[in-house]
Amino acid sequence: MEWSTSSARYFWRLMSQHARLYTEMVTTGALIHGNRQRFLHHHAAELPLALQLGGHDAAALTLCARMAEDAGFSEVNLNCGCPSDRVQEGRIGACLMAEPEHVAEAINNMVNATSIPITIKHRLGIDDLDSDEHLHHFVRLNAQAGCQVFIVHARKAWLNGLSPKENREIPPLQYDRVVALKNAFPELTFVVNGGITTLAQCASQLEHLDGVMLGREAYYNPFLLASVDGTLFDCPHPIAERQNILARLEPYIEEHLATGGRLHSITRHLLGLYAAQPGGRQFRRYLSEHANKPAAGLDVLRQAQAFIGQIHSGGCHSSAQHP
């Protein structure tokens, strides 16, 4: 949440035309009672784009799925994987894995109310509900309800005792169990998530599965996306140099500033663009210190680029997934 904003997604799309992008998780309450425009806003260039929903009430989820379709999203993804305490209080996220029948009812309602794909992102299990029997039951029920795409974080989640950060690191990764799901349900689409940081790892997973989702690696090392189309989608194109990517972003920034937006709301997503490059640390520091000032404009971004030494093209999401 607060990471995969529209500005971040527009930036990522400048590097990959084929990766499917996902919004931050948006709760049904935020859409129905909050700033709907903020969460549904997106640029046409971001497509294909999925809206990730967090919610429990089937009627509210269905209403929000209709909103997403009306707003032009390519997919609605139900989050059944987030383990945070705040999310659990609303019976949202990973705790839904304890209610497969309820999730299936919501999925069925959303599928019948819309014409875009309704997908699920989930864990291998939660707490003591982590057997293959329970996992396969969860997938089977929701497939019967109309879900054809399952994005699986290849870890279980502990709802008590571990923080969200610890739940991304401590439970062991079990990619073999995701492959076993694909073998058990070959007609369904399975996308693996968790612990994947290189395109070589992505390619290896795609030998057995239908898609790969990258989260934090695509955020902290966004230039990885510049090689996605050629490496994973067999759609090679010249890899733009980093400074050319920023030059193409400038008109978007100018429009954002002209409508009263702050530079920092965009540049905070650019901090990793020069990761491991000469001058990259200075680029990051300068933007962090100056882009949040009220009068900050494009000159701040250009000055940050001046810290970069000789810039070379190259590249080694986020995600390379089902088309």
Q: Which residues are catalytic?
A: 82
Residues near 309 by beta carbon (within 8 Å), at least 6 away in sequence: 278, 279
What single-letter DSSP state applies at residue 57?
-
Contacts of 39 (CB under 8 A, 6+ apart): 23, 26, 30, 31, 51
Cβ–Cβ < 8 Å for 147, 189: no
- 8 Å CB contact between 167 and 157: yes
Q: Which residues pair with 122 in a beta bridge?
A: 80, 152
Q: Are 75 and 111 in contact (CB under 8 A)?
A: no
Contact indicator for 195, 204 with CB cutoff of 8 Å = no
Question: Residue for token digits 């990619």?
Answer: 175
As beta bridge partners, residue 25 has: 52
Which residue is associated with the tokens 């607060």? 2
